[in-house]
Amino acid sequence: MAENNYDVLVIGAGPGGYVAAIRAAQLGLRVACADARETLGGTCLNVGCIPSKALLHASEYFDAAANGAMAKMGIKVTPELDLDAMHGQRRDAVKQLTGGIEFLFRKNKVTWLKGRASFTDAHTVQVGDQAVTATNIVIATGSAVTPLPGVTVDGEVVVDSTGALEFAKVPEHLVVIGGGVIGLELGSVWRRLGAKVTVVEYLDQILPGFDGDVRKDANRVFKKQGLEFRLDTKVTGVTVQGGKASVSVEPAQGGEGETIQADAVLVAIGRRPNTDGLGLDQIGLGVNARGQIETDHDFHTAVPGVWAIGDVIPGLMLAHKAEDEGIAVAENIAGQHGIVNHAIIPSVVYTWPEMAGVGLTEEAARAKGEVKVGKFPMAGNSRAKTNHEPDGFVKIIADAQTDRVLGVWAIASVAGTMIAQAAQAMEFGATSEDIAYTCHAHPTHSEAIKEAAMAVRGKAIHV
C-alpha cells in the first residue's frame, strides 16, 4: 500500500474529526487526520469549550471572593486579580488537552497531517504539498464566527470569541453583540472580573432555542448579577477611534437609533460552517442555504465515499454532538451500525448558575400535543439551599397520555452535570413516574429532578 493511501482520511481534528479518526483506527482501519492548526482538538480544545471553561471556572472563584459569597460562609478575603496568571492556567489547560489528543493519535496509530486540505477528486485530497488518497473521506471541518455586516473584527477593540479569551486587561465597558451562549458565557467572565457588560440582542429574549421559562429566568438571574440587556435591538455598525468603540444600535423593528460607547466589543451572533477552500466543487458536492453539508442518517454525503459530521452539517453546534457523530461515522465506515439520536442532545450554558436542557422545550412539546409539566424550585432543594444557591428550577415535560418524558430543563449551579441523568432516562424511554420512583442520594442537587418528576403528578414533597 502506498504511504499516502489510507482507508480513512478525516479532514479536521476537532471533537468530531479526532474522535472519528481514533474510533476508525480502533476498528482496524488505516487512518490519517488532516488539520490546518498547529495543535489538535479543533475549535473546542484550542479556542472554544476548554479555554472558555478555564476562564469561567477561575472567574467564578474571583467573583465568589469579591461579591461576598465567601464572606457569607465565614471566609473573609479581598481578592486581587492576576489576569496574566489566570490566562496562564487557561493556556496550560489547552496545552495539556491538545497534547493529550496527540498522545491518543500516537497510541492508536492515527497519522497526523498538518496542513490545509482541499479535494482534488472524491478520493484524493491535497494536504499542504502532499496528495493523499483514501477510500473514505470524512469532512469534519467545523465552523467559524459569523461576521456581522458593518462590523470589522480587528482583534483588539472589536473581537470575536477567540479575542475575548485573550483580553490583556479587563475592559471598562464591554458591549456583547448577541445574547446567545458565547455572549453570556464570555460576558459573565468579564463582568465577574470587573467590566460593565451590556448585551445587545436582536430578539425579544436571550438564549434562543432554550425553553421559555429558562430564557426568562436566565435573564432575571443575569440582570441580578449586573449584566445589562438591550433586547429587541440591532447593531447597525461599530466605529473605532483612539482605542474606543462607538456601537450604533436601533430598535430591531426600526426606529430612532443611538450610540453606545465601549472599550471593547464582542461579536457573538452565531457560527457558520467551514467549507471555504475545501474544493467541494471538485467533487460536485454542494451546500444548503445555511452553508451546511447535508448528509443522510448515516452521515453519507451525496458523493459516495465522502462523509460529513460535526458543526459543518445541520444540527446543534456542540462538541458532544460532533463527538458522537465521529464515533457513529467511523462505525458506519467499518460496516457497523453507528447511530446518533439527535432528539436527545443536551445543551448547557456554563454560567453561574448553569442552564441546561435536553429534548423538547415546553413550547415545542405543546405544539405537538397535550403535555403535563412538573416544576421544582432549587430554593426547595436542601443542598442548593445549604450552599446559598437560591436561583433556578428543574422542569420536566411529559406526554399527557403516556407520561413519557419529552424534555427536561434546569437552572442550577450544577445543571450541566444533572442533565446527563435526564438524557439517559429519555434514551431509556423513561416516564416521569420512572424518575419519581428512582431513589436519589440526599442531599444532592439531583433530588430536584426527582421532585420535578413528582410534580408532574402534583406530588412534590418539598414545596
Which residues form the interface with ligand FAD (CB under 6 A)? Answer: 11-17, 34-37, 42-44, 48-49, 52, 116-117, 140-143, 161, 182, 274, 277-278, 310-311, 317-320, 322, 350
Residue at shortest CB range from ligand FAD: 142
Binding mask 359-398 for ligand NAI (x = CB under 6 A): ----------------------------------------
C-alpha cell at 239: 466605529
Site for ligand NAI in 241-300 (CB under 6 A): 268-271
Site membership for ligand NAI, residue 423 (CB under 6 A): no
CB of 359 or CB of 377, closer to ligand NAI: 359
Quote the least distance from Cβ 156 to ligand NAI, whole Å.
Answer: 20
**CA dist., res. 190 & res. 172, Å (int):** 9
Site membership for ligand NAI, residue 229 (CB under 6 A): no
- Strand, helix or coil for residue 146: coil
- Strand, helix or coil for residue 222: helix
178, interface contact from ligand FAD, ligand NAI, none, CB < 5-8 Å by kind? ligand NAI
Which has the closest alpha carbon to 451: 443, 313, 239? Answer: 443
CB of 210 or CB of 376, closer to ligand NAI: 210
Quote the least distance from Cβ 329 to ligand FAD, whole Å.
Answer: 11
Site membership for ligand NAI, residue 148 (CB under 6 A): yes
Binding-site size, ligand NAI (CB under 6 A):
26
C-alpha cell at 281: 466543487
442 is catalytic: yes
* In contact, 268 and 283? CB cutoff 8 Å: no
Measured over all CA atoms, what is the biggest interatomic distance in the chain, rounded to whole angstroms? 69
Q: DSSP for 369-400?
A: S-EEEEEEEGGG-HHHHHTT----EEEEEEET
| DSSP designation for 292 | P
The residue within the footprint of ligand NAI, chosen from 35, 60, 63, 185 (CB under 6 A), is: 185
Which has the closest alpha carbon to 308: 87, 462, 142? Answer: 142
The residue within the footprint of ligand NAI, chosen from 15, 178, 310, 407 (CB under 6 A), is: 178
Q: How many Cα atoms occupy the beta-carbon half-sphere of 462 within 13 Å?
A: 19
Helix (H) or strand (E) run with residue 421 in it: helix 415-427
CB of 46 or CB of 381, closer to ligand FAD: 46
235, interface contact from ligand FAD, ligand NAI, none, CB < 5-8 Å by kind? ligand NAI
Give the length of the chain: 463
Set 173, 442, 445, 462: catalytic member: 442
How many CB atoms sit inside 10 A of residue 102's CB? 16
Q: Which residues are catalytic?
A: 442
